Amino acid sequence: MERCVIVGGAPINDYDRIRSMLMADDYMIYCDSGLKHMEELGCRPDLIVGDFDSAEDPHMDVETIVLPCEKDDTDTVYAVKEAVKRGYEDFLLIGVCGARLDHTLGNISILLYLDSLSKKGTIVDDHSVIEIVSKEPAYIDDHYEYFSLINISGCAEGITIRNAKYPLEDAVITTEYQYGISNEVIKGKTASVSVDNGSLLLIKIN
């Protein structure tokens, strides 16, 4: 099954960068005010989801789920859950970071939700690529200027970092002490990160 791309309403400044990451067979879900990005992205929605409190219902000839304004799930979370129901395993979220910090943090937690279901989730913004490292190792190419590891859930143990300026072996990072910020890949190498227990947020900075 193709990848599901979910478009939120947070600012996107570097459309060229985001467009370069899209594929022709992506299943596109636009969430409410995320529709403002449709023209610049050049991708028609396959599904529109929203309560339309921040944008008008465009009444396009596209499947549309109109949500109540008062609800537990944000439009973006609802869209992710709907795509999970439809069988998608691979998710790319764009337009979900920036502007409002509360929405940004809530959307980052979606990566933990997807990881708990053994599904792949990635957030891309103008400056970074964000994903979860847990059961499987993650790899960082040397074209990224920096990468950071942040613990946003419990205690991460057995952390190993290789081919980086600041390597680690069987280390621990807690939510109270974040010392995994601004690491660098050794030029000509591919860095690797693995975690034995728990999970980490990996942010790769362009």
Domains and CATH numbers, the chain: 4-126 (3.40.50.10240), 133-205 (2.60.120.320)
The whole-number pLDDT of residue 55 equals 67
CB 76 within 8 A of CB 93: yes
Going by their DSSP bridges, the two strands 155-162 and 191-194 should be labelled as antiparallel
Amino acid (one-letter) located at 78: Y
* 145-162 mean pLDDT: 95
Given a cut of 80, whether residue 174 has pLDDT beyond it is yes
**CB under 8 Å to 193, separation ≥6 — which residues?**
133, 137, 138, 139, 140, 149, 159, 160, 161, 200, 202
pLDDT digits (tens, 9 = 90+) for 175-196: 999 999 999 999 999 999 999 9
- CA 83 to CA 90: how far, in whole Å? 10
Tally of CB atoms within 10 A around 154: 11
Min mean pLDDT across 33-42, 44-53, 117-126, 135-144 is at: 44-53
DSSP summary character for residue 62: S
